[in-house]
C-alpha cells in the first residue's frame, strides 16, 4: 500500500479575499433572489385563491354514466381502420363528453334573492 507523503507544513495559508467588495454584491443578489421567490409565492397563492373561489362558485357537474357498447368488434370490416370513420368516431366521443357535462340548470346564475318591498 502506497503511503502518500504530504508535507502539511508547506501548505500555503489561504489568502483572504477582500470581503468588503464582494459582500454588498452578494447581499443584493441574494436579496433579489429572495424577493423574486416571495413574489412568485404571492402570485401563486393569489392564483390558487382565485381558482379556489371560482371552484366554489361553479359546482362542476359529475358526468352521469351512460350505457356504452363495450363488446369488441370480432369481425372488422374493411372500414374498421378507415381514417374518416375513425375521425367521426373520435368526434362523437367528444360530443358525448360535452353532452354529459353540459349544465342545463346554470344554478349559479339563478336570479338574486333581493327584498324589493321597502315598507315602513
Binding residues for another protein, per CB under 8 A? 25, 28-29, 32, 35-36, 39-40, 43, 53-54, 57, 66, 69, 73-80, 82, 84-85, 87-89, 91-92, 95-96, 98-99, 102, 104-106, 108-109, 111-112, 114-120
Please report, for residues 40, 108, 114, the alpha-carbon distance to residue 117 in angstroms, rounded to integers and kept in the order given.
49, 24, 9
Question: For residue 61, how many other CB atoms are within 10 A of its CB?
Answer: 13
Task: Extract the C-alpha cell encoding 12.
Answer: 500555503
Taking the least distance from each CB to another protein, the nearer of 13 and 76 is 76
Residue identified by cell 353532452 is 99
Taking the least distance from each CB to another protein, the nearer of 19 and 105 is 105
Amino acid at each position: 500500500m502506497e503511503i502518500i507523503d504530504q508535507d502539511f507544513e508547506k501548505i500555503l495559508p489561504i489568502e483572504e479575499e477582500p470581503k468588503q467588495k464582494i459582500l454588498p454584491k452578494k447581499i443584493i443578489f441574494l436579496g433579489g433572489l429572495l424577493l423574486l421567490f416571495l413574489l412568485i409565492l404571492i402570485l401563486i397563492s393569489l392564483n390558487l385563491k382565485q381558482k379556489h373561489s371560482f371552484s366554489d362558485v361553479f359546482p362542476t357537474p359529475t358526468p352521469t354514466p351512460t350505457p356504452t357498447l363495450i363488446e369488441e368488434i370480432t369481425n372488422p370490416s374493411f372500414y374498421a381502420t378507415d381514417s374518416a370513420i375513425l375521425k367521426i368516431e373520435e368526434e362523437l366521443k367528444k360530443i358525448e363528453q360535452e353532452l354529459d357535462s353540459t349544465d342545463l340548470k346554470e344554478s349559479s346564475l339563478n336570479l338574486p334573492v333581493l327584498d324589493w318591498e321597502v315598507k315602513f
